[in-house]
Structure 1
């Protein structure tokens, strides 16, 4: 039984007047943004304690769910090896260990294993650990890498001597974690972050053996709406500095053999001109939206004449096909496309003697090109999975058109049979008549009688598409009668670039109405009812959750909002917060009154009402660099004050991690088990 005597924490109200455009907002909980204030930490801990007490009756079931989820995962697992510059690289896991082990073998898979990193050893003594940006020098003797031990995505770069097996003295702080080698094996280029905003804004050149203070500043991005990164082309000929914002790109290139020369601009930035570059022989291939190609097209230009006036069309723009990416091989061009929401992989010989698509046979799958670092090969590696089909890594011979399944995800426990599940794609209608696709998966034998519990998920921002994908974790819901539904709302790019454009800036409200209308459709078609409908979203998807419970609270029995971006106006007016300035092209800049009024009209925190709300589980990360912990904390405090129901309202803050939650693969499962226990408890399912 729930302990009904336990009282929720009540945050102190300290009114703060926020005024702009002759409009005044009163924020009673603004004080919660003081990360170092002990009263703030006490409040977060009190909310955590309240959550633990109020869910104590589900703890045994939660542990059962965790063990169930864990039991499906192959603990002693390893990646499919890939070959790069004479070595096979492998990532493996050992039984009972939370973190990956990185190894390599010279020339043949029968060679002796060389240990690069054991993250289980490196993670000792840290509540959070993440290793990123592994980059091997061209002569294979050195490897650079980045480490984050707080979850704030602020990495320290170090270099390991692979011949001696020892770390060099070189330490580079406050970076993105990745670094790129020049071809001299002693020069590294890396990206540094602004300490306050965490914007990636400077590129430095580092010589092995030097102190960080001796590094040379190569590029400084002064436009606060842009970030920068640096990498090497697959051809290994060019170093590339990429400058990016939501709407605009600019690249600078340098021959990797001459790292002391100056980078030259590829094509200077023009607002709303997006492009990306790939090098092949003496040409650059460019995926771009130039000349109103909103779904993008492919162009090329000579490496010595890179300005847009020299670009020549290779694949024309198509109204109904989104060109997402390309992979370049010695004899083949591989094009990743999306048509009617579905992934397509096109393979084309450079000499035009062959041009075909890989065959895929349903409407609820995900296919993507995988690790293809080898240039001179006829093998394309790609990944495939579907809502009912575990993930496979496949090597496809582009000459013989035969495929080899290199690895199929194992679902342990002996209970999984993909033939026991069904998936389908259905279409709801939004307020403006637009058809909104949804991908559904459930156990066979579904009866549309309105009694099925449904978990409806969406993201819907930044053009990020949630494709239908297989999940071993999700089986714990499906096997207990849940339907899982992915709503492909506007704001993603599921139906092409225009799908994204129609769900951002002054069209953002389409994202919210799409989701609500998908919910209504599921109820009308008797997949479920409002007593059994649940919604979930994280980050910008958490914003979506905040809006739908303000606008249509009676549609849902429960909602999970993970690290939700809910205080949109205040955050977007504070350019000291990480990521804010780079977000103006997504949400609009509220320093402009028209955007201010539009954002204020939907911002969840600003629109909490005195009304009944669904049962709510809200999560946060104290060290989150993307959605600051105080957004969900303030939102929950205001909801506690305003809501008129006796439904559950929980705030669970991870005091040791950031945006992505726990870092260990099994610790992360505990968070999934916690969320599922919350949902299943609302359905009175406890076994």
Structure 2
């Protein structure tokens, strides 16, 4: 079969001048996705991609079949108690989306036995079981369907949810009477992620975003009234700040944060008062990164504040709303006595979790997410003058795997236990309930996986040395039969932005690579949060290039240490990880045989220079502000993948994107691909694959996502396995 020639995109030169530098962009015309010529070009690219990847179809189909075979398609979640109901999910073989179910709880919620979830069996309905939301039915009328948030009233009679039917992450808020199953007549268009209900279920609270997809307004909707009567509670006009909100532990207050990755303002809203206004506790002018958790200590309303005032890895202090409000004119913000001290070796999560029994603290210790338990007695002692404690000294549940992830799944305020989710590189997700009084984990469920034997695989943590001497963590996954003899193909995955960590977690699709003798490595590069806040700060703004050189150092380490054959390497990354892919392709194209760049942020400078576009003004705290700062402009231009393509023997590159992505727009890879082809000195193909009905996460539905992953894995495997 003869592969056709790639589409030839027309050129319309567009000049951009900033800080005395002029860049001529021949493909900026592709930004208008309503232009028939743009859609025609994307369709032609898809046809070319299909032709190039046609010979990969057998491998693609095999990987998809393996994912499908290993996945227990008819699956269940562990019921979670809320009020007088147990809520859980069913996934059904052949269906793309989960089904939301519930069953009445028969006992009072005070005893430990009352929190033992009912046994749910596939294909069998529990007594009194209700399906209160069938996502498959809702999705049936749309090519794309995604939920962006869901809330059920305290009494279980009202459902609020937000849905996206196009993939552009512009949601519609809808309400449903769970007693009758009938939809309420009102709806609210163009809302952002998330929805919360007042304790009495009479009001819904939601966010809307501006044209740059920045959530900036908080609204109150009164159930039973049209959206035109909704009340605007707060508007953040500073384009560098994003707005977010979450419920307090007792679900009676809304904790509202507005800010960026370096500082934020915090407000509280009384949800029991329909006329309440947000109360500003920590102003943005304080330049403190903070999160407030309302609590009660001996009957007194207090606040546990997680903050970076004492250091980048956070501390936790105890104060009151009144104490904060009384400091409006003070030079130094006093957050009260320190309950948990700052620790250079331990990163505290953004907020503590309050329960009546104790405070749960999520902390990153030895690069692993963990849960620690802080007693109210310790909080009282600190209130009364005692010294604070270190998070690492607090007790916590113990698990056998040294590399694992544990996070709080549910912690109802008055419950006698809390629930965690546990996973490791080789252990599928487990759900444990942990009693407050006797914190021995009770296994409720391990996600079943067909045709999987843990003993057949290995997970190893190693360290690569970056050019500046920094030791970079590397996770190496491989089949047990693989020997460290330098002959194996390898896929290297990386991200490295926004303090997002690649934490230990099980993934069925990866097994298809490991079974084929492919080493799968995760490069925990700077810009992520694996080793604390400084690990993130040393991979952002004017340190961003550390992310790229760390990845190259990991690549070299895998070869030098015998894990991989230097001629059989592939790289993968998405979104900001797609920027990483574009950067390493320019820096060292000779190191890789294939690259998959998923929804890649490869025209980063153009995007950040336009505050009206998504990932722009609100991102200046991540990348710097190239509009105002010439140094930032020059630095970003020196690594922006689109502007640094050069004549080279590029590897086989697949840029995968979505037409309706509002975070990293399709136009970035659409422009990048033809420039790569123009400078390609080798014979490896360079393709653009555009999902026409998907968003930032690709197509909706689990089967479609499996197909996407099979496509990506078949692309890299086909070039490195031969």
Q: What is the deviation of 1:410?
A: 0.8
CA drift at 1:233: 0.8
Q: Are the equivalent residues in 2 in contact too, given 1:349–1:355 (CA < 8 A)?
A: no
CA distance in 2, matches of 1:455, 1:64: 18
Out of 592, 595, 602, the residue aligned to residue 566 of structure 1 is: 602
Counterpart for residue 254 of structure 2: 239
Counterpart secondary structure, 1:121: helix
Matches within 5 A, 1:505-544: 505-544=541-580
Q: TM-score, normalised by structure 1?
A: 0.96
Q: CA offsets per residue over residues 304-326 of structure 1, 9 Å max, x none?
A: 33354252211111111111142
Aligned match of 2:692: 655
Pair 1:348 & 2:374 matched: yes
Map 1:246-265 → 2, pairs under 5 A: 246-265=261-280
SS in 1 for 2:352: strand
CA distance in structure 1 between the aligned counterparts of 2:287 and 2:602, rounded to whole angstroms: 27
Give the Cα–Cα distance (whole angstroms) in 1 for the partners of residues 421 and 154 of structure 2.
27
Contact 1:179/1:230 (CA < 8 Å) preserved in 2? no
For the pair 1:503 / 2:539, whether they are aligned, the reply is yes
Would you say the 8 A contact 1:610–1:642 is kept in 2?
Answer: yes
Aligned match of 2:109: none
Are 1:406 and 2:416 counterparts?
no
Going from structure 1 to structure 2, the CA distance change for 1:205 and 1:401 (only over 3 Å counts) comes to closer
| Cα 1:186/1:84, change in 2 over 3 Å | same
What CA deviation, in whole Å up to 9, does each residue of 1:175-213 have, x standing for no partner? Answer: 11422222342122211122x212111111211222211
**How far off its partner does 1:303 sit?**
3.9
Alignment partners' CA distance in 2, 1:306 and 1:183: 26
Shift of the alpha carbon at 1:633? 0.6
Instruction: Return the offset for 1:4.
Output: 3.9
My pick for the range that moved more, 311-320 or 350-359, is 350-359
1:259-658 → structure 2 map (5 Å cutoff) = 259-270=274-285, 272-281=287-296, 282-291=301-310, 293-307=311-325, 308-324=333-349, 325-352=351-378, 355-372=394-411, 374-412=412-450, 415-591=451-627, 592-658=629-695
SS of aligned partner of 2:285: coil
Distance 1:270 1:312 in 2: 22
Q: Which stretches of structure 1, 4 residues or more, deviate above 3 A after TM superposition?
A: 108-111, 352-355, 360-363
**Residue of structure 2 in register with 1:115 after alignment:** 131
Q: Which of the residues 207, 214, 224 maps onto 2:229?
A: 214
- Paired with 1:406 and 1:184, the residues of 2 have a C-alpha distance of 32
Which of the numbers 243, 251, 270 marks the counterpart of 1:228? 243
SS of aligned partner of 1:309: coil
- Distance in 1 separating the partners of 2:71 and 2:356: 37
RMSD: 1.6
Count of residue pairs brought into register by the alignment: 678
- Kindly report which structure 2 residues correspond to 1:138-153, keeping only aligned pairs within 5 A, or say none: 138-153=154-169
Partner of 2:80: 82
The separation in 2 between residues aligned to 1:647 and 1:74, in whole angstroms, is 38
CA contact (8 A) 1:459 1:538 kept: yes
Please give the per-residue CA displacement for 1:227-274, whole angstroms capped at 9, x wherever unaligned. Answer: 213332121221232213121111221222112122211111136410
Counterpart CA distance in 1 for 2:40 and 2:513 is: 34
For residue 43 of structure 1, the aligned residue among 36, 41, 44 is 41
User: Which structure 2 segments of 5+ residues have no match?
Assistant: 107-117, 119-125, 326-332, 382-392
TM superposition shift of 1:140: 2.1
Paired with 1:446 and 1:304, the residues of 2 have a C-alpha distance of 62
**Greater mean deviation of Cα atoms: 242-251 or 357-366:** 357-366
Preserved CA contact (<8 Å) 1:344 1:367? yes
SS at match of 1:390: coil
Quick check: 1:10–1:640 contact (8 Å CA) kept in 2? no
Deviation at 1:226, TM superposition (A): 1.0
Q: Deviations over 1:546-583 (max 9, x none)?
A: 01010011111111100100101111111111231110
**What is the CA–CA distance in structure 2 between the aligned matches of 1:527 and 1:571, rounded to whole Å?**
38
Q: Give, in whole Å, the separation in 1 of the partners of 2:136 and 2:639.
A: 44
Q: CA deviation at 1:56?
A: 1.5
Instruction: Please identify, of 456-465 and 328-337, the stretch whose mean Cα deviation from structure 2 is larger.
Output: 328-337
Bigger mean CA deviation after superposition, 122-131 or 185-194: 185-194
TM-score (norm 2): 0.92
Match of 1:160 among 169, 173, 176: 176
Report deviation, 1:404: 1.4
Q: Deviations over 1:83-125 (max 9, x none)?
A: 1122111111112101111111222446411221101110012
Work out the CA distance in 2 between the residues paired with 1:183 and 1:72: 42
In structure 2, relative to structure 1, the CA distance for the partners of 1:378 and 1:209 (3 Å cut) is closer
- Aligned residue runs from structure 1 range 178-197, under 5 A: 178-194=194-210, 196-197=211-212
Return 279-288 or 348-357, whichever deviates more. 348-357
Change (3 A) 1:10 1:84: same
- Structure 1 CA distance, aligned partners of 2:18 and 2:720? 45
SS in 2 for 1:168: strand
Deviation, 1:503, is 0.4
Q: Distance in 2 between matches of 1:313 and 1:61?
A: 57
Deviations 1:382-420 (A, max 9, x none): 1111112211111122322322111101111xx311011
Please say if residues 75 and 95 of structure 1, whose CA atoms lie closer than 8 Å, have aligned partners that are also in contact.
Answer: yes
State the alpha-carbon separation in 2 of the partners of residues 497 and 428 from structure 1.
20
Q: Which runs of 5+ in 1 are unaligned?
A: none
Deviates more, 1:38-47 or 1:444-453: 444-453
Question: How far 1:6 sits from its partner (Å)?
Answer: 1.3
2:104, 2:513 → 1: CA distance? 44
Q: Secondary structure at the match of 1:638?
A: helix
Q: Is the 2:166–2:694 Cα contact (8 Å) retained in structure 1?
A: yes
Alignment partners' CA distance in 1, 2:527 and 2:2:
41
Aligned to 1:7: 5
* 2-structure distance, mates of 1:400, 1:290: 34
Q: Residue 684 of structure 1: CA displacement? A: 4.5
1:502, 1:54 → 2: CA distance? 39
Q: Distance in 2 between matches of 1:396 and 1:26?
A: 60
State the alpha-carbon separation in 1 of the partners of residues 720 and 282 from structure 2: 57
Q: Deviations over 1:427-451 (max 9, x none)?
A: 0100100000101111113222221
Q: 1:363 to 1:310 in 2, by over 3 A?
A: closer
